[in-house]
Structure 1
Amino acid sequence: MPNAAPRFHIEEIRFAERDVVLRLPFRFGAATVTSCPQVYVRARIRFADGRTREGCAAEMMIPKWFDKNPALSNEDNFAQLRQALSTTRDAYTAPAPANTAWGHFASHYVDGLDAGQRAGRNPLVSSYGPALIDRAVLDALCLDAGLGFGAAMSSDLCGVDPNHHGLAPDLAGFDMGAFLRAQRPRHRIAARHTVGLADAIRDADWTAPAPHDGLPSSLEAVVARYGHRHFKLKLSGDDAGDLARLARIAEVIDPVAECVTLDGNEQYADAAAFAHFLDALFAEPALRTLVAKTAFIEQPIQRATALALDMRHIASRMPMLVDESDSTLDSFGAAQALGYTGVSSKSCKGFYKSVINAARCAQGHARGGSALFLSGEDLTMQAGIGVQQDLALVAWLGLAHVERNGHHYVNGMAALPAEEQSAFLARHAPLYEHSDGATRLRIVRGELDLSSLHAPGFATGVEGSDIQWDAMRTNW
């Protein structure tokens, strides 16, 4: 582990929440979300000389994604995620020698999964705790060093060591330092617009009144306002219904689309069911242009069996990306053996996992396996700290586009205090705009300007002062 990586104690971790109400229902798979909490994390770290720094992070608690057990209510899902956060806090703040940022993560990773399993939490739920806390910790470390996320990662401020505790033995011979130094953060990125299963394709599709907030409520209106050229289309598993709906979507996006991805959302029981859908998809004349622009399909098979089925014969027809089944640090390797060549980068699964999987893709390319790829996916990230940190991550990874859907389903920062909205707009003017009564993401010709995110901190710029913590619903 590099000597340059500073060591510190994690002195305190606190959580607060805000309720987020969606302006449009977001349907994915069998679930429809209309509201959920967003959790904020504050972590204070202490160095050997006694000085302290505080950092923050934020993430939505989307129900029915981390654990899709139909016997669990949305409140049950929220409680699971809170438990994961509390368990991680207890581990990270327990008395122990000072450690690097990576060392804090690696030292507790396996024990955290084990504790979650004993409590009935799956690995995705358990990973939610370190995913947020690691970001808040790194924000504090970056602010102390006066470095932005990209500069901090490229200089290995975290002390990333895949061999620490044997977390990524497949990278034992990989030059991680060279990989980190080679990254060149992007300053612009394309926003890949999500078309949910409940979304209107055209304005005329609305049977109930659309929101009167000045924002687009249909796909055609979204394209007209934001100029999107990248799209992510949700599938329901109903072949006939999906094909008819994709044909209607194609009428809108075929003239402008540069890249399309499909999200199977675990809606197919097995390889045969998914192969049947692909047969019909490829045979549909109205979808030829859309299929030609489709880069990959995301997680078509339900997670319970996805990593037990050989999909290589199907993957030869369309690249496949593993998402929900990418639940632990070694999942991507298991998925590759079955035909998956892509893996999602999702901040809710942990930015260290994204870094490790990106290194695996680079190692594969160096060995001639150029098919391996990483893709930036969303979990309805909201304007503010959450979306900024995810964008800083995918920018450093060099991704050309990232799924963004929070700006469509939620009315920007409309629910936040005016002073907080103004603070974010002033600090990150290239990323935000004030329009239709609220501060929101600024998307021009389908792209986001990330230039403000390279300031000190993990895409924050200053020690949490832009956030009005006293306006939160809870503080625990």
Structure 2
Amino acid sequence: MRALVDVEGVGEAWGGTAEMMMPKWFDKNPSRSPAETVDGLRRSLRSARDAYRAEDRLDSAFGHHAAAYGAQVKACRAAGLPDLTAAYGPALIDKAVLDGLLRALGTDFFTGMAANVAGLDARLTPDLAGFDLDGFLGGLRPLGAVAIRHTVGLLDDPEDLRGLLERERLSRFKIKLGGDVAADVERLKAIARVLDTAAEGYRATLDGNEQYPDAAALAGLMEAMERDPALAVFRQHLLYVEQPIARERALGEPLGCLAKRVPLIIDESDDGYDAFPRAREVGYRGVSSKSCKGLYKALLNRARCAAWGAPHFISAEDLTCQAGLAVQQDTALVALLGIGHAERNGHQYGNGFDGAPEAEDFLKAHPGFYTGEGGTVRLATAGGSLPTATLAVPGFASAAQPAWDRLSPLKEPESFREFAP
């Protein structure tokens, strides 16, 4: 995504961003194929572009987002797309616009956000009316490094972790759940046997991935974990459970005593600006930050955590951010929010830049963030964390650019005219 930004009294600058079009995550409607859900993301992008360009007027970066947000949600609902899909288009446009704004001003993301150059306000979050957002942003202290939280997928062999831990200094882990209590407990025991002996001082999170039908079923998992002595150490090192219940039911019933057993956060249920307050009412204590859901929503949810106080928190999850603009911008956002560790799984499921012509440019521009060992430029994960000082460059966290002239235009969505706003 590219955006040409014209800043009054300053001039023009191009901004850019990138994000993977992940199938069957934004929209898990079983009647839609993976390709159809990706097509929904294309529709979201096209619709958002039209919504942002509908008014030819001056406004702040956030002001443009706020003005287009309602029309975007309405248009996507009319097309049968879920609100999470609707958020995808604005999420990319906002990152590209912010990049262009920061480049026009000649400042970096951390400095620019501290001064609130985006014009963030509470018009979409009335519960924050009266909260000092300028003071909040000015008081954020970006972290110098973000620890990598390694994803352990359902198909990953727990014993493979031993070899990985011999090569990389990892201490944070995100473990996927399958929804069957007995199977999940046995798998967690196998993983715990490795972590308890090979990852001193580790911390872990569980990703329910919407696999548990309700709070009672998840309570059964927690009870089984608490009863099993083989999981005693693991249980002490467990930080939170992410989105265990399907989004359609997650916010429909109070969590009750379950909320006292382990902190629970929403991810797929975070489909609008009112989602976190609604989740809080039924017992959730946290919400995830993902650039693909919107950087402004992440910032405002972090402000809510500051306004509400403990035990509310924001985590950093990943939707396979690939090497380049996507992972750099999201890591910068995580650092600004003050989140010490983030799921960074793009390097696990993608081979870095995989021979892309701009790979060497990014390697030279961001030392320590990437490595060229092995012949492929990819994230430098061996130390277990990513440095963020290298992201403090004019623009949104990147001193290198994709080879824009070699990229293919976005494919036109199927039957898009039928769904045009």
Q: TM-score category by the smaller chain?
A: over 0.9
What are the Cα deviations for residues 385-408 of structure 1, in whole angstroms up to 9, with x where unaligned?
000000000001111111111111
Would you say 1:426 and 2:364 are equivalent positions? yes
SS in 2 for 1:316: helix
Q: In structure 2, how many angstroms separate the alpha carbons of the residues matched to 1:90 and 1:281?
A: 50
SS in 2 for 1:106: helix
Higher strand share: 1
Aligned residues: 409
Q: In structure 2, how many angstroms separate the alpha carbons of the residues matched to 1:42 and 1:323?
A: 27
Greater displacement, 189-198 / 435-444: 435-444
Q: How much does 1:461 deviate?
A: 2.4
In structure 2, what residue type is equivalent to 1:108?
Answer: A
Would you say 1:470 and 2:414 are equivalent positions? no
Contact 2:322–2:346 under 8 Å retained in 1: yes
In structure 1, what residue type is equivalent to 2:407?
Answer: M
Q: How much does 1:293 deviate?
A: 0.3
Would you say 1:315 and 2:259 are equivalent positions? yes
Partner of 2:94: 134
2:327 corresponds to which of 370, 387, 398: 387
Higher helix share: 2
What are the Cα deviations for residues 337-387 of structure 1, in whole angstroms up to 9, with x where unaligned?
10000100011100000000000000012xxxx100000000011111000
Would you say 1:371 and 2:331 are equivalent positions? no
Could you list the runs of 5+ residues in structure 1 that have no partner in the other structure? Answer: 1-40, 203-217
Would you say 1:175 and 2:132 are equivalent positions? yes
Would you say 1:458 and 2:396 are equivalent positions? yes
Would you say 1:194 and 2:151 are equivalent positions? yes
Q: How much does 1:145 deviate?
A: 0.9
In structure 2, what residue type is equivalent to 1:390?
Answer: D
Q: In structure 2, how many angstroms separate the alpha carbons of the residues matched to 1:180 and 1:134?
A: 18
2:178 corresponds to which of 197, 217, 236: 236
Q: How much does 1:224 deviate?
A: 2.0
In structure 2, what residue type is equivalent to 1:159?
Answer: G
Q: In structure 1, how many angstroms separate the alpha carbons of the residues matched to 2:297 and 2:109?
A: 16
Q: How much does 1:284 deviate?
A: 1.3
Q: How much does 1:467 deviate?
A: 1.0
Contact 1:312–1:340 under 8 Å retained in 2: no
Partner of 2:375: 437
What are the Cα deviations for residues 122-154 of structure 1, in whole angstroms up to 9, with x where unaligned?
110000000011000000001111111111111
Q: In structure 2, how many angstroms separate the alpha carbons of the residues matched to 1:421 and 1:461?
A: 12
Contact 1:414–1:439 under 8 Å retained in 2: yes
Q: How much does 1:425 deviate?
A: 0.2
Q: Compute the TM-score of the two structures, normalised by the length of structure 1.
A: 0.84
2:67 corresponds to which of 92, 102, 107: 107
Contact 2:289–2:298 under 8 Å retained in 1: yes
Contact 2:7–2:104 under 8 Å retained in 1: no
Could you list the runs of 5+ residues in structure 2 that have no partner in the other structure? Answer: 412-421
Q: How much does 1:240 deviate?
A: 1.3
1:65 corresponds to which of 12, 25, 30: 25
Contact 1:394–1:402 under 8 Å retained in 2: yes
Q: In structure 1, how many angstroms separate the alpha carbons of the residues matched to 2:125 and 2:64?
A: 16
Q: In structure 1, how many angstroms separate the alpha carbons of the residues matched to 2:59 and 2:219?
A: 48
Greater displacement, 332-341 / 429-438: 429-438
Partner of 1:338: 282
Partner of 1:278: 222
Q: How much does 1:49 deviate?
A: 5.0
1:352 corresponds to which of 278, 283, 296: 296
Q: How much does 1:50 deviate?
A: 8.3
Q: How much does 1:47 deviate?
A: 3.1
1:399 corresponds to which of 336, 339, 343: 339
Q: In structure 2, how many angstroms separate the alpha carbons of the residues matched to 1:177 and 1:314?
A: 36
Contact 1:414–1:437 under 8 Å retained in 2: no
Q: Compute the TM-score of the two structures, normalised by the length of structure 2.
A: 0.95
Q: How much does 1:281 deviate?
A: 1.4
Contact 2:195–2:202 under 8 Å retained in 1: no
In structure 1, what residue type is equivalent to 2:217?
Answer: A
Q: How much does 1:295 deviate?
A: 0.6
Would you say 1:44 and 2:1 are equivalent positions? no
Q: In structure 2, how many angstroms separate the alpha carbons of the residues matched to 1:281 and 1:254?
A: 15
Q: In structure 1, how many angstroms separate the alpha carbons of the residues matched to 2:226 and 2:269?
A: 26
Contact 1:378–1:402 under 8 Å retained in 2: yes
1:361 corresponds to which of 281, 298, 305: 305
Q: In structure 2, how many angstroms separate the alpha carbons of the residues matched to 1:85 and 1:243?
A: 41
Partner of 1:24: none
Task: Using the aligned pairs only, state the percent identity.
Answer: 45
Q: How much does 1:473 deviate?
A: 3.9
In structure 2, what residue type is equivalent to 1:258?
Answer: Y
Contact 1:43–1:136 under 8 Å retained in 2: yes
In structure 2, what residue type is equivalent to 1:245?
Answer: R
Cα RMSD between the aligned structures?
A: 1.3
Contact 1:91–1:108 under 8 Å retained in 2: yes
Q: How much does 1:258 deviate?
A: 2.3
In structure 1, what residue type is equivalent to 2:174?
Answer: K
In structure 2, what residue type is equivalent to 1:132?
Answer: L
Would you say 1:80 and 2:40 are equivalent positions? yes
In structure 1, what residue type is equivalent to 2:313?
Answer: F
